[in-house]
Amino acid sequence: MRSYRGQVAIVGVGETPVGKVPGRSALWFNAEATRLALEDAGLDKAQVDGLVTAPSFVAPFARMSVAVSEYLGIRPTFSNTLNVSGATAAASVSVAAAAIHAGLADTVVVCCGDNMLSGLTRDLAVKALVESRDPQYEAPFGLLVATTFALTAQRHMAEYGTTPEQLARVAVVTRGHAMKKPGAQMTAPITVEDVLASKLITTPYHMLDCALVSDGGAAFVLTAAERARDLRRKPVYLLGGGESYTQEHIFCAESITTTGAAISSRRAYAMAGVRPEDIDVAGIYDCFTGTVVMMLEDLGFCKKGEGGPFVEAGQITYGGRIPINTHGGMLSYAHPGLPGGFFHIVEMVRQLRGEAGERQVAGAELALCHSLGGGFATNATIILGTEEKG
């Protein structure tokens, strides 16, 4: 199989302030993150000939990648507005890498930004999400996106004995990580009891089992590995990528406790030539606590059904098997909608460059990022490394 393994590198990252950032548009979050990523890479915007972004929930642009390019004053020859819901983050890195590997572009900006918190009221944000459900078979029954994910967690609890306390532990651990990340939206320490005492949203999920609603944007710059070596930052190489699109409706899923993440990650590991046990640190899309538990299994960090005890045993933080979401993730750092998963990638790049400060995972050489969406309708995995050949 053809492969982009080691052919493309992330050479710059940028992120805007996150949380409540009133008065800024979705375009600004995209552009500001891009400006910072180019500055980080030491590249001029004139060198950018490709741009990939995702649509905004708030801004009405039909061609978001073109609108962002115009705002930045660039005229790329490769442009893509990608939307595979939450999986867009990792998937857009693969799209950019494929474009570079295929010769469609030399230097591609991947960015995403939105103002879900300030631009949309919380009620409107939730309404926008419910309206993304099928109008005939789902929306008439008052199905929240959160409920779709809750159905999977409920079934996981019944099949494998996963407990509400184990789910809550994911939020507690990643809150601890956010406390060390400057600018994180939520930094007050929480306990398992706090999570279980927070308002019920859709069982088994409480408010603190659910990702935040935020403003914010993130960007990365990708270029060919041979160019990356001459740039100012230590290149972070893209070693593997995989995606999986298993169904649109949750009721058409073959299984709701084993997901397309098992497929996307298997493809990514195969391309990278590495195994789950080789990965040092991971960014896992954490729209809900139970999502993380299931992903730890499907990504191969523990056996199917053992995600709950794995979390409980302290395996997802420093000193454990695989520290995850060292920036705090979408549960505590920020979740501005589609940009939510992009911050995981920025954080993994910082980990591999050894720039994560007091969040640094010692000796991190291989990182995995997984993003997903639509009640596990979409899954995308990428594997990043400090060396071209892993």
Under the binding rule (CB under 8 A), the answer on residue 140 touching other proteins is yes
Residue spans of beta strands (DSSP E) within 127-268: 200-202, 205-206, 215-224, 236-245
Q: What is 163-203 written as a DSSP string?
A: -HHHHHHHHHHHHHHHTTSTT-S--S---HHHHHHSPEEET
Torsions phi, psi for 165 (to 5 deg): -65, -40
Distance (Å, whole) CA 131 – CA 4: 37
CB of 331 to other proteins, least distance (A): 17
What is the x/- site pattern for other proteins, positions 71-110, by CB under 8 A?
A: ----------------------------------------
Measured from the CB atom, the residue of 138 and 280 that comes closer to other proteins is 138
Q: Segment near other proteins (CB under 8 A), from 44-52, 133-141, 221-229, 297-305?
A: 133-141
Measured from the CB atom, the residue of 46 and 200 that comes closer to other proteins is 200
What is the x/- site pattern for other proteins, positions 223-262, by CB under 8 A?
A: --------------------------xxxx---x------
How many residues bind other proteins (CB under 8 A)? The answer is 35
Report the residue from 44, 60, 141, 182 that binds other proteins according to the rule CB under 8 A: 141
Burial of residue 215 (CB within 10 Å: 0-12, 13-18, 19+) is: buried
Are 211 and 332 in contact, with CB atoms under 8 Å apart? no
Q: Segment near other proteins (CB under 8 A), from 46-54, 193-201, 212-220, 340-348?
A: 193-201
Measured from the CB atom, the residue of 66 and 196 that comes closer to other proteins is 196
Distance (Å, whole) CA 369 – CA 27: 25
Distance (Å, whole) CA 325 – CA 340: 12
3-class DSSP assignment, residue 48 = coil
Q: Segment near other proteins (CB under 8 A), from 19-27, 202-210, 292-300, 327-335?
A: 202-210
Annotation marks residue 160 as catalytic: no
Under the binding rule (CB under 8 A), the answer on residue 202 touching other proteins is yes
Query: 301: closest CA among 287, 318, 281, 329?
Result: 281
Distance (Å, whole) CA 45 – CA 34: 9
Measured from the CB atom, the residue of 194 and 365 that comes closer to other proteins is 194
Q: Which residues contact 238 (CB under 8 A, 6 or more apart)?
A: 4, 5, 6, 7, 8, 9, 10, 93, 97, 222, 382, 383, 384
Under the binding rule (CB under 8 A), the answer on residue 154 touching other proteins is yes
Measured from the CB atom, the residue of 226 and 251 that comes closer to other proteins is 251
Measured from the CB atom, the residue of 90 and 157 that comes closer to other proteins is 157
Annotation marks residue 137 as catalytic: no
Are 242 and 4 in contact, with CB atoms under 8 Å apart? no
Under the binding rule (CB under 8 A), the answer on residue 151 touching other proteins is yes
Query: 92: closest CA among 295, 376, 369?
Result: 369
- Name the catalytic one among 4, 160, 237, 333: 333
The catalytic residues are 285, 333
User: Applying CB under 8 A, which residues contact other proteins?
Assistant: 123, 126-127, 129-131, 135-144, 147, 150-152, 154-155, 158, 199-205, 249-252, 256
